[in-house]
A and B are shown apart, each in its own frame.
Chain A
């Protein structure tokens, strides 16, 4: 009985999982243009206020794009190119903050906040359950009172 109720849902989950597995497979290695674009998207346009070098049309961004295209054509790896840029501009030319040190806090704090919040909710639910149990049994007189009141009013359709 239970098996028949849950079967369609199990099938759904399996189909979903399969589709996601296929869908997460990339479409082959990146072309040089795609590689350059991915690197440029991680680098800040030096003269702009936070736009990436990929999308900005400031001359400094164009210079970065030329440089990255050159280095990609010369066969250097992503990490080497990013290091070359940070060697010139400093580490804040990258749009992605590092994951270590005091900067890593920015990745770490939100997770902490969410975990603490979720923990707070769990504790609250546990406390509510305990209070409900401690409130004790409902007396017969209370039950009568509630049922007569309900009979007088129309039930909520929502």
Chain B
């Protein structure tokens, strides 16, 4: 058989594979770093368009005792507006913390709760089981949740003495964090 004599193709020193591999590698390393540092936490303060603005109004009869309630009546105290549901497990976790906050020193703190996708009966059972003696408003059409931009319970909004929203919490809160924020607001003269 004749030897196949062909001139070899010009030696290609292109390093396309190496360069693309390095580029993709760098991107992927950064990507993995981002994925590795995601976390969910307690006391997670969230951005909200409501921060620094007057809190949307809340009014209606309390589910507990039927007495009429107006959010503006809470002016003068640091109020926590807490959206919860009886079927929400983190809400049960945070309830003792809210009780502590409501009764904290100075007597200038208060809690108001709004039901999220829930009805009066289970809510009453919930409060009996987990504590809490503050007004609870029903929100049958979800309009209050919409006004506050609530994604899901538990979400809480800390208002200052003038009814301005200081902070929004998505998920559980602790009394320590709330008290710290209130102390800071007092110092800042809010």
Contacts and interface: CB of A to CB of B under 8 A. Distances in A.
Interface of A: 46-47, 58-60, 62-64, 66-67, 86-90, 93, 131, 134, 145
Contacts of B49: 86-90
A90 B48 contact: yes
B143 A63 contact: yes
Given A46-B151, A47-B152, A60 B50 contact: no
B24 to A, nearest CB: 12
Given A63-B146, A66-B143, A67-B146, 5 more contacts: A46-B145, A59-B117, A64-B146, A88-B148, A90-B149
Nearest to B139: A63
Contacts of B9: 131
B117 A60 contact: yes
B71 interface: no
Given A59-B117, A88-B49, A88-B50, A93 B149 contact: yes
A46 B155 CA distance: 13
Contact of B142 (A62, A87, A134): A62
Interface in B136-167: 141-143, 145-152
5 shortest A-B CB distances, which residue pairs?
A63-B142, A89-B149, A88-B149, A59-B117, A47-B152
Interface residues on B, range: 20 to 34
17 contacts: A46-B146, A46-B151, A47-B152, A58-B117, A60-B117, A60-B150, A60-B151, A62-B142, A63-B142, A63-B145, A86-B49, A88-B56, A88-B147, A88-B149, A90-B149, A134-B10, A145-B2
B15 interface: no
A90 B150 CA distance: 10
B148 A47 contact: no
Contacts of A145: 2
A120 to B, nearest CB: 9
B47 A90 contact: yes
A66 B143 CA distance: 9
A60 B143 contact: no
A59 B145 CA distance: 10
A52 to B, nearest CB: 15
A109 B2 CA distance: 55
B149 A60 contact: no
Contacts of B141: 62-63, 66
Interface string B1-20: 01000000110000000000
Interface in B48-106: 48-50, 56
